[in-house]
Amino acid sequence: MKHRGMGCVFPRGGKPDEKGRLRTGSWWIRYYRNGKGYSESADTLVKAQAESLLKKRIGQIGIGEFIPPSDRRITIGELVTDLIKWYRTERNKSRFADDTESRWNLHLKVYFADMRADQLGTDQMRRYRETRIAEKASQVTVNRELQVLRKAYKLAADATPPKVRTIPRFAMAEEDNARKVFMTQEVKQWLRDAAARDIGKKTAKMKGLHLRTFVELLFGLGWRKSELTGLRVENIHLAEGFIRIENSKSGKPREAPLTPTLRVLLEPLVIGKQAHESVFPAKDMRWAWKRLCKEAGVQSGKAAGYVIHDTRRTAARTQRSAGVAESVSSAILGWKPGSKMYARYGIVDRSDMTEALQRSEQWEQEQRTATEQLQSAVPTQAGRPN
């Protein structure tokens, strides 16, 4: 056994010859970090290769990139378990835990649970994608599933000490799945009227004023369904005139002022209630939405009708048409500054561009007419062409 600075190399399972080669067994290395010793097999019969690995480990310790041997054996299943625990304990992240756990248990677990974290590469991800596509999953769905793994690796790499040294390259399929369905003013009014009269079953949780208020919040603020169904009394600040949520999709708080209409609708739903109580009695709006659309005489569903998320896109377009600055509208809807969501959702469509071109032509015609009138009013000077 020879010492090399902070560590040493030694044989196990055989005796080296004069050149440091083994016939059986393997060379091992031992080194120290913060006074703690680590041993691992160099997986080689050649002493020089073991010494090279020892130097590599000592270098990693020196620059803070060392990963203990036990963590190098960590599985992808352990990484995802850490991610789910982190989501459940981190502020404003808990709502991602259930979705992550569902995707993992339904599809990812059977492929990746026992795979060592350092074994994941392009080939494994490509085979997983091919298998899922064969199972009729969309490219977008597979992207979301692989994003679970990517987030798990990033969290492990940010740990102290890091649990993985490198993050695999996750190649995502191109997505073009953005719905570009808008509701006309007529459809919006039909839904408002249906919510106002709401003749649904008496056993329905979401009825009457609750449903009317929910619809007005959808069209007014354009917030996501989950953000509205999760509202509590403490989120509604009637005296100050605003509504605020601490846990939006971006993980950041968001607030918006209450218009007179929203204030009138919300007041009877929060007055006299405890701060922790929910504003709306239902968390699942699917049945209430289907009932509302049926009463309004419009189709519901992605295939040939409207879904709740279409109100978010409609609200953004309504604000743009009303002259609201894109930065202000993005702040209300919870999009990041300079977000590409306007382009992704097609907030500006062909009819908008047609109207813009018609206005441009009209403006140019007005300018030409004004110029001609000015020229006709000025006497022609000698020597100058008319």
Tens digit of pLDDT for each residue in 298-339?
998 877 789 999 999 888 888 888 888 888 888 888 887 777
**What's the average model confidence in pLDDT over 340-366?**
70
Residue with the larger pLDDT of the pair 112 and 342: 112
Q: Give the residue from 296, 311, 341 showing the smallest Cα distance to 220.
A: 311
**What fold does the segment set 185-345 form as a domain?**
hpI Integrase; Chain A (1.10.443)
d(CA 123, CA 62): 33
Evaluate the omega torsion of the peptide bond into residue 337 and state whether it is cis, within 30 degrees of 0. Answer: no
Tens digit of pLDDT for each residue in 243-282?
998 877 766 788 889 999 999 999 999 999 999 999 998 7
Q: Is residue 37 a contact partner of residue 30, using CB atoms and an 8 Å limit?
A: yes
List 255's β-bridge partners, or say none: 244
**Pairing mode of beta strands 236-237, 7-12:** unpaired
**Pairing mode of beta strands 254-257, 36-41:** unpaired
Q: Which residues of 288-322 are buried (b: 16+ CB within 10 A; e: fewer)?
A: bbebbbebbebebeeeeebbbbbbbbbbbbbbbee
Residue 375, pLDDT score: 80
The answer to whether residue 2 scores a pLDDT higher than 60 is no
List 256's β-bridge partners, or say none: 243
How does residue 384 score in pLDDT terms, banded at 50, 70 and 90?
A: very low
Average pLDDT along the chain: 84
Tens digit of pLDDT for each residue in 236-252?
999 999 999 887 776 67
Residue 155, pLDDT score: 95
The residue extents of the domains of the chain are: 2-66, 76-157, 185-345
Residue 246, pLDDT score: 84
**What's the average model confidence in pLDDT over 327-355?**
73
Residue 385, pLDDT score: 47
Residue 109, pLDDT score: 95
Question: Lowest mean pLDDT: which of 156-160, 176-180, 229-233?
Answer: 176-180
Q: Is residue 113 a contact partner of residue 76, using CB atoms and an 8 Å limit?
A: yes
**What's the average model confidence in pLDDT over 293-301?**
90
User: What are the CA-CA distances from residue 80 to residues 89, 92, 95, 148, 384 (Å)?
Assistant: 14, 19, 16, 8, 83
**Pairing mode of beta strands 236-237, 2-4:** unpaired
Q: Is residue 132 a contact partner of residue 171, using CB atoms and an 8 Å limit?
A: no
d(CA 280, CA 269): 8
Q: Give the residue from 232, 108, 127, 221 showing the smallest Cα distance to 171.
A: 127
Tens digit of pLDDT for each residue in 92-144?
677 788 889 999 999 999 999 999 898 899 999 999 999 999 999 988 899 99
